[in-house]
């Protein structure tokens, strides 16, 4: 099956074995279009039958013939699963800086916990990565459960598009009691609000989206009216946003306060992925405790825009009106500073959210918000010796702005619903951090090897970095930029050392059919510190022939020279204090092979190689030589 809107042909997709175009209704596989492709000889009836048979066979295997109804979703709380999530989250956390052993936090200390990411949980990235959690444990929940005396400061807000109003402030029109679905959405066929009513519903939030399946009660030319009451949580110029794929008008207490015109630059999934680009913001003066009537009228997207490229009639349509209470950033920064100064330790939490990191689009930069940097600066100034920055993101963010000033930096990623317990376990020392970076962490976005080719030009994206991705790029002698934190890097509350490395034989001659060449490399590693911990021993292979012509004479990797070294294996081992262990790697043909794109095969060139052993891509401590007497090619995986 295709990704959503990820196919661009009829015959080519079918002949390649793509059985299902998503989403429906189909754009490329109507009965008429498929018949036309058969008539032209672009696809055969046999191909169509084979594809249909595979879909039907899948339905049979899943039991859909016997029970065509979708079973209801169910949620089962399992303590063992929760423990697994908690442990996995803690094990993945990477300690990036720990000057003077400021972490772990002593159990008798007072701790300031600062920032939006401490009081809420970002479960993961946006788009299809989003899942509902059974519960969410924040860091504000987790640290006190370990006995810490904490002081909480809200920090600065972090969002992409303006968030929805807090449920505590939203009421059904005329109702003084809270209800689970206080927002009324009325649907009308035609362009006139209030005429030809089609349907009405109550929803928890002031938003709707029409995705793959068009509502049977609704014409393509439609309009909606969204209404609810909003009680202002405080006095001030509060922030609203109107998000719509069509024209929208917002009224407060019956008076028009904002109009969002028809957006002319739309993408098929603008409302799903690009709300920040789609929204238009405005402010409105409000008085604390006063009840306001909010109404948003919206219309279907203009047909001329909808039917033209790149939409060609397919787009998720939707509208939303959102609200965010006015925040006095200066006061929030003072509060953060005062909390940090009043406690023994300060933990300031930064990061992204699912509207900043998501499928469907690329980030244009890797910076945190300006207010987050101000918050970090305020905390470090107030408590310069015992502060830790804990960052929550799925990809690198700009840390060079504070990396040399923050005593500790912890990369927590998105550890899931048990976040608070996972992070608290590491900060307290109950868990010794064993996470290692699966990527190189740039100092700034311009240091990325793909930077010069982003964004694409005329929808053509050039992968000119070729094989030089991540550490393969930064390792090159002609690259001045070095990462802030290298690939495979991560600290621990103990220390480790690679004591030596050996190989069973240095010269080898073997047939291409031999997946295992029968050579083992051994690295002796020791926990040289005072407590148990985990270390990731990394094995890289360097092709010492890479100064020659590119593999395949213009083939392997598109005619590009091999990178200085490439990770071929790693093993994470748990060692008690003082323990020494041999970590053994068995080499296979993958370790000396590179794909030759021109000849469509793998090639291992004869000559000299080095097996490099270390604790990160930038911390190689030992190497052993290997000579391949005879080259060969092979296919498969």
Per the model's pLDDT, the better-predicted residue between 223 and 463 turns out to be: 223
Per the model's pLDDT, the better-predicted residue between 615 and 585 turns out to be: 615
Q: How confident is the model at residue 501 (pLDDT cuts 50, 70, 90)?
A: very high
Picking from 17-31, 174-188, 389-403, which range would have the lowest pLDDT averaged per residue?
A: 17-31
Mean pLDDT of 34-53: 94
pLDDT, tens digit, for every residue of 566-591? 999 999 999 999 999 999 988 888 88
Query: Which residues of the chain does CATH 2.60.120.260 include?
Result: 167-324
Per the CB < 8 A criterion, the answer to whether 193 and 223 are in contact is yes
Q: Does pLDDT of 556 surpass 50?
A: no
Rounded-to-5 percentages of helix, strand, coil across the chain: 20, 30, 50
Q: Report pLDDT for 72.
A: 87
Residue 380 to residue 387: CA distance in whole angstroms: 6
In terms of Cα–Cα distance, which of 483, 484, 487, 525 is closest to 622?
Answer: 525
Report the relative pairing of strands 408-411 and 170-171 from DSSP bridges: unpaired
pLDDT, tens digit, for every residue of 126-154? 888 888 889 999 999 999 999 999 999 99
In terms of Cα–Cα distance, which of 148, 81, 136, 158 is closest to 420?
Answer: 136
In terms of Cα–Cα distance, which of 393, 430, 386, 439 is closest to 408?
Answer: 386
Q: Which two tokens stand for residue 509?
A: 């001659």
Q: How confident is the model at residue 555 (pLDDT cuts 50, 70, 90)?
A: very low
Phi first, then psi, for residue 9 (nearest 5°) are -155, 165
Query: Which residues of the chain does CATH 2.60.40.10 include?
Result: 491-634
89-157+328-435: CATH architecture? 3-Layer(aba) Sandwich (3.40)
Between CA 237 and CA 240, with CA 238 as vertex, the angle to 5 degrees is 130
Mean pLDDT of 515-536: 90
Q: How confident is the model at residue 516 (pLDDT cuts 50, 70, 90)?
A: low
Picking from 176-180, 185-189, 451-455, which range would have the lowest pLDDT averaged per residue?
A: 451-455
491-634: CATH architecture? Sandwich (2.60)
Q: Does pLDDT of 80 surpass 80?
A: yes
Mean pLDDT of the chain: 93
Q: How confident is the model at residue 66 (pLDDT cuts 50, 70, 90)?
A: confident
Q: Report pLDDT for 511.
A: 53
pLDDT, tens digit, for every residue of 307-361? 998 888 889 999 999 999 999 999 999 999 999 999 999 999 999 999 899 988 8
Cβ neighbours of residue 622 under 8 Å, at least 6 residues apart?
498, 500, 501, 523, 612, 613, 614
Percent with pLDDT over 90 in the chain: 76
Q: How confident is the model at residue 549 (pLDDT cuts 50, 70, 90)?
A: very low
Cα distance between the two ends of the chain: 22
pLDDT, tens digit, for every residue of 372-420? 999 999 999 999 999 999 999 999 999 999 999 999 999 999 999 999 9
| Maximum alpha-carbon separation in the chain | 85
Mean pLDDT of 207-224: 92
Query: Which residues of the chain does CATH 3.40.50.1700 include?
Result: 89-157+328-435
Q: How confident is the model at residue 298 (pLDDT cuts 50, 70, 90)?
A: very high
Q: Report pLDDT for 632.
A: 87
Q: Report pLDDT for 145.
A: 97
Per the model's pLDDT, the better-predicted residue between 305 and 457 turns out to be: 305
Mean pLDDT of 513-538: 88
Give the chain's count of helices (H) and strands (E): 14, 28
Active site residues: 3
Picking from 373-377, 464-468, 531-535, which range would have the lowest pLDDT averaged per residue?
A: 464-468
Fold of domain 167-324: Jelly Rolls (2.60.120)
Q: Does pLDDT of 548 surpass 50?
A: no
């Amino acid at each position: 099956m295709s990704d959503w809107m990820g196919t661009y042909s009829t015959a080519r997709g079918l002949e390649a074995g793509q059985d299902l175009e998503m989403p429906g209704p189909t754009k490329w596989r109507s009965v008429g279009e498929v018949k036309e492709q058969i008539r032209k000889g672009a696809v055969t009836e046999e191909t169509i039958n084979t594809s249909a048979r595979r879909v039907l066979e899948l339905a049979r295997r899943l039991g859909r013939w016997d029970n065509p109804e979708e079973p209801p979703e169910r949620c089962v709380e399992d303590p063992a699963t929760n423990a697994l999530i908690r442990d996995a989250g803690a094990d993945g956390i990477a300690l990036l800086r720990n000057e003077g052993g400021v972490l772990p936090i002593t159990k008798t200390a007072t701790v300031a916990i600062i920032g939006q990411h401490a009081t809420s949980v970002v479960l993961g990235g946006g788009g299809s990565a989003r899942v509902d959690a059974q519960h969410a444990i924040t860091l504000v929940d987790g640290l006190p459960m370990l006995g810490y005396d904490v002081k909480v400061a809200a920090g600065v807000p972090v969002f992409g598009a303006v968030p929805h109003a807090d449920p505590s402030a939203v009421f059904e029109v005329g109702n003084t009691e809270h209800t689970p679905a206080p927002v009324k959405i009325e649907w009308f066929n035609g362009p006139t609000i209030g005429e030809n009513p089609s349907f009405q519903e109550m929803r928890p939030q002031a938003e709707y989206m029409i995705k793959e399946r068009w509502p049977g009660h609704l014409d393509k030319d439609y309009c909606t009216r969204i209404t609810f009451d909003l009680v202002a949580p405080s006095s001030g110029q509060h922030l609203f946003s109107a998000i719509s794929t069509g024209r929208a008008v917002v009224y407060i207490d019956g008076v028009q306060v904002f109009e969002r015109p028809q957006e002319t630059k739309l993408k098929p999934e603008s409302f799903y992925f690009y709300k920040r680009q789609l929204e238009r913001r405005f402010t409105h003066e409000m008085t604390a405790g006063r009840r306001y009537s909010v109404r948003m009228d919206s219309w279907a997207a203009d047909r001329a825009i909808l039917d033209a490229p790149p939409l060609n009639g397919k787009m998720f349509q939707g509208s939303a009106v959102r609200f965010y209470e006015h925040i006095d950033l200066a006061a929030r920064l003072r509060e953060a500073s005062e909390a940090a100064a009043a406690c023994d330790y300060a933990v300031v939490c930064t990061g992204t959210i699912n509207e900043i990191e998501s499928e469907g689009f690329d980030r244009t930069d890797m910076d945190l918000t300006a207010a987050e940097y101000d918050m970090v600066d305020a905390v470090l100034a107030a408590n310069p010796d015992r502060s830790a920055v804990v960052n929550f993101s799925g990809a690198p963010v700009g840390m060079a702005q504070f990396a040399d000033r923050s005593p500790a930096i912890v990369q927590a990623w998105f550890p899931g619903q048990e976040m608070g317990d996972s992070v608290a376990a590491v900060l307290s020392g109950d868990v010794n951090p064993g996470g290692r970076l699966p990527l190189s962490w740039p100092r700034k976005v311009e240091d990325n090897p793909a930077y010069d080719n982003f964004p694409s030009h005329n929808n053509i994206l050039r992968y000119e970095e070729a094989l030089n991705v991540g550490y393969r790029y930064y390792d090159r002698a002609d690259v001045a930029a070095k990462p802030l934190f290298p690939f495979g890097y991560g600290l621990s509350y103990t220390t480790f050392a690679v004591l030596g490395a050996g190989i069973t034989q240095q010269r080898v001659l073997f047939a291409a059919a031999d997946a295992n060449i029968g050579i083992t490399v051994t690295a002796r590693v020791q926990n040289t510190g005072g407590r148990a911990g985990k270390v990731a021993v990394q094995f890289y292979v360097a092709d010492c022939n890479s100064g020659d012509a590119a593999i395949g004479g213009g083939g392997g990797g598109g005619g590009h020279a091999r990178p200085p070294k490439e990770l071929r294996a790693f093993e994470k081992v748990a060692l008690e204090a003082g323990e020494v262990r041999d970590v053994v790697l068995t080499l296979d043909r993958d370790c000396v092979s590179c794909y030759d794109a021109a000849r469509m095969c793998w090639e291992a060139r004869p000559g000299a190689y080095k097996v490099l052993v270390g604790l990160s891509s930038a911390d190689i401590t030992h190497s052993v030589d290997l000579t391949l007497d005879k080259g060969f090619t092979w296919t498969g995986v």
